[in-house]
Amino acid sequence: MIIHVVKKGETLWYISNLYQVSMDQIIQVNQLDNPDLLMIGQALIIPRMGRFHIVRPGETLWLISRRYGVHLNDLIQENGIINPNLIYPGQMLRIPRPTIETNGYLIRMGEAGGQIARNIGRHLTYLSIFSYQVQNNGDLTVLNDEPVLSAAFDTDTTPLITITNIAERGFSSELAHGILSNPEVQDKLLENILNIMREKGFRGLNIDFEYVLPEDRENYNQFLRKAADRMHANGYLISTALAPKVSATQEGVLYEAHDYPVHGQLADFVVLMTYEWGWSGGPPLAIAPINSVRQVLDYAVTAIPPSKILMGIPLYGRDWKLPYVRGTSIAETITLTEANRRAARYGAQIFYNDLYQSPYYYYVDENGARHEVWFEDARSYQAKYDTVKEYGLRGVSYWQIGAPAPQNWPVLDFNFRVRKP
């Protein structure tokens, strides 16, 4: 795989000839709506066969394995090497792909959700069905998720039931407090969860409690201990979603009750929600700037084993109308496919921020209003997957797979094998 950034005057015909790859292949892998209309700065995936490395003077197999984030033994086995100490400059080595786990949150239910799960399932280890909302008496809302579960089983994907403290106006601190401060309600909630899991075939629980009051931190930890014991006793996995903290003492209602060491000890894995820096009510910014993501990881790996961490990756972008006015402006959340369509529609030049490792552009709409758009492309995905290798993480988690993100999946496939149960 090669990532080509379109330059002024380049056409798809020119690019296909440059790399000796057919135009149809480039169109298909990038899902180009209008192959005749390429934007300056647009990233294109150029599919190539295999992953190879040409040995350079002074290189060892260990150095090469470190560079690509693969185990030394896998590199030796992949190339049938008898004497690992004997490689020579100019030798071509096939690079095996490391294996990771992936999780995808899905918010669409019914037949439409089932089709999404069927289309994306081969790229996923886990499918987190979002969400079963807890009630203050320990009951759960009902979802029409049977078509989604059927698709998960057909694609050998492990379905997880995701529970949340979402009420009418979003995540509710008060609802979480009512659950976490009442052991009897907790027991009823866990029994209801287990009944649904047995009935529908779920294989694990994902807990996404957000905006938990700081004073409920230990209550949340105690609930997790109880939930982990119940899940493991019945042969189920348990995982949690964590706010992106950069220190153990980070202040704020989003962060303080999320005790990283306790989650890392009790859960089979955790999802770090490393996105939403560019949130809808905030100023224009990359959704998941890699420098900020790395700050979270720098702390996370000191509190949680890297082998338990799934790094969050956003599959969406945002469009801000300028000028941004704090407290008034609300960005439009758009799919990555729509971000590319708008760039083409308005003839925008796409730029790339090297610090954030994220693409962005400006355009003027039909009414003369100026806009700023941040999104993801093959380059930003590659930067995130390089980060997964560097930190030795368990894998990644996507929010959310219902949003079309055609460039993500070939970049994922180029970098990793996805573990299946």
pLDDT, tens digit (0-9, with 9 covering 90-100), for 343-384: 999 999 999 999 999 999 999 999 999 999 999 999 999 999
Q: Select the more confidently predicted residue: 193 or 69.
A: 193
pLDDT of residue 292: 98
pTM over 0.85: yes
pLDDT digits (tens, 9 = 90+) for 255-299: 999 999 999 999 999 999 999 999 999 999 999 999 999 999 999
Residue 51 has pLDDT above 80, yes or no: no
Least confident span in 28-37, 68-77, 126-135, 150-159: 68-77
Q: Tell me what the pLDDT averaged over the chain comes to.
A: 96
CB within 8 Å of 302: residues ≥ 6 apart? none
Question: Considering 36, 64, 94, which residue would you say is the last residue of a domain?
Answer: 94
Domain identity same for 109 and 175: yes
State how many domains the chain has. Answer: 2
CB within 8 Å of 70: residues ≥ 6 apart? 95, 96, 97, 98
Residue 162 has pLDDT above 90, yes or no: yes
Domain identity same for 87 and 197: no
- Catalytic pick from 210, 256, 276, 338? 210
pLDDT of residue 49: 67
Check residue 41 and give left, alpha or beta (phi > 0: left; psi -120 to 50: alpha): left
Q: Is residue 348 part of a domain?
A: no
Q: Containing H/E element for 389?
A: helix 378-391
Dihedrals phi, psi of 146, to nearest 5 degrees: -60, -45
Least confident span in 62-71, 200-209, 244-253: 62-71
Domain with 401 in it? 101-311+388-418
Domain identity same for 189 and 70: no
* Over residues 171-181, mean pLDDT: 98
Residue 113 has pLDDT above 70, yes or no: yes
Cis ω for the linkage preceding 382 (within 30 of 0): no
Q: Is residue 279 part of a domain?
A: yes
Residue 215 bears catalytic tag: no
* Over residues 157-162, mean pLDDT: 98
